[in-house]
């Protein structure tokens, strides 16, 4: 039995004759066509015949409304006879061509009782079927579909009726040959560009699966998640490729490549009907990485980016390979998070009302326990260092306290690697997360050398294990360090910009922020994130600018809220002889508005 390639071709009216060079393929053969040209293929000499190979051939159907509407009428050549089905779904009608042959075009003349959703399928044995045309927006009338495949049997699988009656067809015509004389049509009304590649099968020349890049396979480029990426197996920048199967032939209009740091300087975008024979859609030898938004013109089921030369020896990496157009067999991505509109309302918060010494509300906060993860020197306790003060505040206390059996970076004061300090770190993971809105807290920060109080957010994917840091994203609303008493820092971190390369700003005051309470906030929207202190906006991260100059924007996902009072680490530096402990980070409230 031949190996079939599953193709599903929609219907769309061609634009002006001679307007575009289109791609057509029969299994193993590529033919390049110009609309409005002859039936001869521009390469390979293939030709789609004009003879109706279905005329007079036997026909079977799942049902008939009456003897006067026999299935045989669709191939009898009589324009006044028709087949009509019973009133129900689904239905089928199939033509036996008598022998297997290449099929390049199928025409259907619908009566008023047409199908809105149907497939055209081919088979060699009448048992196993391969779809070569599929639509859910059928509009009846006369449909001519250029297809690519072979088989003895041609079947129309009817899935949804346009009327309360059955299905009715005047005529089914089939043309055989090595190439279609017209480009495959797309569904009537399919004029709105949409994302075609979401969660479609993807393959690559190689993939990486290491402790630094776990499961960095091709499927990551179609998951609409800039926290996951595909990376080549080897750190070299020779030829490599990634391809996506759109599931059906599509009119491809635009390709968006979201590159990792290891991007291709030279690459080609290609299209194919069968996954074996490719036609160039676009090419460049001046790629600059970040986000490439490439307009293309072509029809293909498979789309491939072939990388030829990289900027360095680090291999290649792609966060996303997005393909836009019409037709295909798109899967709708999850709905985008609702963008809040002003005036905002309070939707979540904690005012820390409660008895003195009581623990933070366990329905809102989780205590993280253990050493820090970015070179800090403290050991976070299970709320021994975080408690309400009875006056409407949460107090997170950092103090000198040895935790036996623990391990921290070496303390420069005692020279010990046993954690010499304790503190508290709280998060809302599993209890509350958000995407977009205004997040603010009124805080009196701690303020001595080596301390690092922070109010911030982390991508929830980090806690589920779907993504690692910094891929998951981080939004630092407030970071304060004792050696800069009058400065509050903000930052965004992602895979392409993190640590000292993060994107952020600083708010300068004339005094010491630890002397009084201040309100630290972020206004977070899909297109930008604005940071403020006491209502004074001091830094804005603009999405378009970030994607253009730094890398993927990862801040369209749920984030959880964190509070902590760290000791040591690369940002504040370690405690020294100037450090005075204990020190309190006092939080009046945390509010979320949407």
Q: Tokens 């521009």 label which residue?
A: 42
3-state secondary structure at position 438: strand
- What is the maximum alpha-carbon separation in the chain? 101
Contact predicate 396/564, CB 8 Å:
yes
Q: Tokens 């998060």 label which residue?
A: 427
Contact predicate 14/138, CB 8 Å:
no
SS3 per-residue string spanning 525-541: CCCEEEEEECCEEEEEE
For residue 21, the cross-strand partners are 34
Q: Tokens 């299935």 label which residue?
A: 71
Q: Tokens 């590159």 label which residue?
A: 259
Taking CA 513 as the corner, what is the angle to CA 507 and CA 517, rounded to the nearest 5 degrees? 110
Range 485-493 contact pairs with CB under 8 angstroms and sequence separation of 24 or more: 485/447, 485/511, 485/512, 485/513, 485/514, 486/510, 486/511, 486/512, 486/513, 487/513, 488/513, 488/518, 488/520, 488/533, 490/522, 490/531, 490/538, 490/539, 492/529, 492/541, 492/546, 492/555, 493/469
Contact predicate 54/174, CB 8 Å:
yes
* Beta pairing, strands 194-195 & 240-259: unpaired
Q: Which of 165, 163, 173, 122 is nearest to 143 (CA)?
A: 173
Tokens read off for 274: 């069968």
Q: Which of 461, 447, 456 is nearest to 477 (CA)?
A: 456
- DSSP H/E element including 97: strand 91-110
- Active site amino acids: 474, 479
* Beta pairing, strands 29-34 & 279-284: unpaired
Q: How many CA atoms lie within 13 A of 414 on its CB side?
A: 14
> How far is the C-alpha of 532 from the C-alpha of 108, rounded, in Å?
63
For residue 565, the cross-strand partners are 453
């Amino acid at each position: 039995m031949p190996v079939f390639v599953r193709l599903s071709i929609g219907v769309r009216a061609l634009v002006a004759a001679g307007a575009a060079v289109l791609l057509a393929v029969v299994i193993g053969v590529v033919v390049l066509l110009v609309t409005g040209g002859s039936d001869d293929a521009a390469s390979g000499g293939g030709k789609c015949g004009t003879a109706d190979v279905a005329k007079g051939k036997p026909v079977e159907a799942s049902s008939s409304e009456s003897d006067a509407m026999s299935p045989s009428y669709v191939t009898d050549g009589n324009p006044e006879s028709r087949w009509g089905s019973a009133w129900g779904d689904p239905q089928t009608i199939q033509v036996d061509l008598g022998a297997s042959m290449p099929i390049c075009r199928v025409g259907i003349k619908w009566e008023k009782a047409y199908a809105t959703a149907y497939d055209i399928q081919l088979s060699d044995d009448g048992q196993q079927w391969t779809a070569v045309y599929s639509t859910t927006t059928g509009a009846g009338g006369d449909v001519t579909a250029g297809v690519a495949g072979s088989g003895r049997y041609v079947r129309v699988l009817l899935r949804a009726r346009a009327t309360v009656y059955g299905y009715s067809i005047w005529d089914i015509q089939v043309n055989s040959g090595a190439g279609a004389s017209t480009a495959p049509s797309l569904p009537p009304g399919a004029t709105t560009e949409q994302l075609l590649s979401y969660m479609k099968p993807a393959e690559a020349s190689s993939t990486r699966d290491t402790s630094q890049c776990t499961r960095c396979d091709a499927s990551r480029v179609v998951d609409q998640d800039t926290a996951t990426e595909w990376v080549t197996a080897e750190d070299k920048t020779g030829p490599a490729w990634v391809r996506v199967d759109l599931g059906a032939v599509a009119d491809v209009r635009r390709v968006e490549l979201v590159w990792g740091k290891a991007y291709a300087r030279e690459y080609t975008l290609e299209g194919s009907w069968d996954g074996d024979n490719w036609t160039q859609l676009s090419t460049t030898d001046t790629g600059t990485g970040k986000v490439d938004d490439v307009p293309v013109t072509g029809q293909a089921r498979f789309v491939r980016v072939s990388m030829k030369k990289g900027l360095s020896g680090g291999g290649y990496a792609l966060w996303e390979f997005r393909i836009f157009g019409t037709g295909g067999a798109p899967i709708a991505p999850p709905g985008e998070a609702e963008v809040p509109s002003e005036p905002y309302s309070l939707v979540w918060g904690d005012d820390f009302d409660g008895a003195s010494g009581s623990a933070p509300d366990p329905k809102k906060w989780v205590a993280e326990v253990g050493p820090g993860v970015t070179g800090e020197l403290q050991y976070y306790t299970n709320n021994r260092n975080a408690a309400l003060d009875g006056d409407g505040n949460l107090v997170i206390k950092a103090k000198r306290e040895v935790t036996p059996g623990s391990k921290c970076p070496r303390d420069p004061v005692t020279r010990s690697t046993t954690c010499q300090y304790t503190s508290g770190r709280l998060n809302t993971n599993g209890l509350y997360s958000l995407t977009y809105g205004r997040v603010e807290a009124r805080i009196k920060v701690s303020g001595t050398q080596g301390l690092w109080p922070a109010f911030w957010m982390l991508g929830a994917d980090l806690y589920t294990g779907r993504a690692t840091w910094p891929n998951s994203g981080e939004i630092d609303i407030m970071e304060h360090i004792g050696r800069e008493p009058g400065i509050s820092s903000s930052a965004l971190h992602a895979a392409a910009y993190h640590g000292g390369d993060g994107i952020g700003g600083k708010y300068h005051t004339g005094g010491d922020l630890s002397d009084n309470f201040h309100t630290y906030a972020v206004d977070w929207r899909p297109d930008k994130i604005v940071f403020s202190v006491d209502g004074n906006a001091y830094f804005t991260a603009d999405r378009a600018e970030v994607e253009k100059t730094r890398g993927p924007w990862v801040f369209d996902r749920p984030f959880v809220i964190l509070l902590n009072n760290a000791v040591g680490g690369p940002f504040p530096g370690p405690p020294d002889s100037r450090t005075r402990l204990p020190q309190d980070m006092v939080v009046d409230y945390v509010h979320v508005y949407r």
